[in-house]
Amino acid sequence: MNNQRPFLLILMLFLCLPLFALIALSLGRLNFSLATVIKTFTNPGANPLATNVVQNLRFPRVLAALFIGAALSSAGMAYQKTFANPLVSPDLLGVTNGASVGAAMAILCGGGVWLTQGAAFLGGIIAVGLALLIPQLLHQQGNLILILAGVVVSGFMQAALGLLKYLADPDSQLQSIVYWQLGSIAKIDRPSLLAIFPILVVGFLILLAYRWHLTVMGTGEATTQAVGINQTFEQVIIVIGATLLTASAVSLSGTIGWIGLVIPHVARLLVGDDARFSLPLSAILGGIFLLVIDTLARTLSAGEIPLSILTGFIGTPVFILILATSHRRKSL
């Protein structure tokens, strides 16, 4: 594929992000025109009600949706390329279950939003750290042993989460844990975003720095060794970058499924397997997708719909369509 076409597609979608954000800011239980939304930033005193709703309630959510969607989809692309497996998702090494355990412990301790987010981030990092440590303790290397270590850690974290749910007060704490697991960005504010943003930037920069090698790593370990890439070292670095993105996203929003699995496939269908283009495109598409999902979550009904419910309903048929399209292309 000509490199100019993927670049132009990425540039066009990136330049459209402000428009998508303005549309999301205008929609909700109170609808505003795009002109009114723009005026809340250029002349906040003209409409105090609109300014309060747009800047204090919706603007942090819009930014969070863009950042979290980009983080999860980028991490999914990195994992799928690193492990040469298109069915891999960002929670491969137990980061999501580890974050859930951390959040559940904070909820049981009566912690607020900040403590829950911090404990979730720490839980996700610990889970991946354990998954990386197990192959070292067994003196074994390779994708298979690392994936198996992730399965073991995920299983342990699921058991721990089940115990915490059993101990939780069913009238208050259990509901909070379950709601957190279903995913929501309703409680995200500017300080939360500012605290996590540097970590998101570091994780994404790591993946961008290694995007040249991700394409080769996606073809399998034999090809990686043939071109002289240090598979083990670069795999660890990429996993660290993807884990920082996933743990940061999950600590803010809870568990949101399908984005890290489906969006990388969509990006590859549009620009091919070259990670130089598919990685940034995946980030942009992931941000747009979650922005649409969150807008639907707060406008479809009187109550807030958990994000994982909508991503599941939309992601499942989209993924089936992608698989059917890929199979049809291979058979031609």
H-run or E-run covering 4: helix 4-26
Place 257 in a pLDDT band, splitting at 50, 70 and 90: confident
Per residue in 308-327, pLDDT (tens digit) is 999 989 888 888 888 777 66
Residue 72 binned pLDDT confidence (cut-offs 50, 70, 90): very high
Mean pLDDT, range 169-185, rounded to an integer? 87
Percentage, residues of the chain above pLDDT 70: 94
Nearest partner of 6 among 331, 192, 279, judged by Cα? 279
Element (H, E) at 156: helix 143-167
Is 105's pLDDT higher than 90? yes
Determine the length of the chain: 332
Q: Where are the domains of the chain?
A: 4-218+226-331
Q: CA-CA distance, 265 to 249, in Å (whole number)?
A: 20
Band of pLDDT at residue 67, cut at 50, 70 and 90: very high
pLDDT at res. 315: 84
Question: Radius of gyration over alpha carbons of the chain, in Å?
Answer: 20
Largest CA distance in the chain: 66
Give CA angle at 300 (299, 302), nearest 5°: 80
pLDDT confidence of 219, banded at 50, 70, 90?
low
Instruction: Give residue 136's pLDDT.
Output: 86
80-90: average pLDDT? 83
Q: What confidence tens digit (pLDDT) does each residue in 229-251 have?
A: 777 788 889 989 999 999 999 98
Just give the CATH number of 4-218+226-331: 1.10.3470.10
Look at residue 273 in the predicted model and tell me its pLDDT: 85
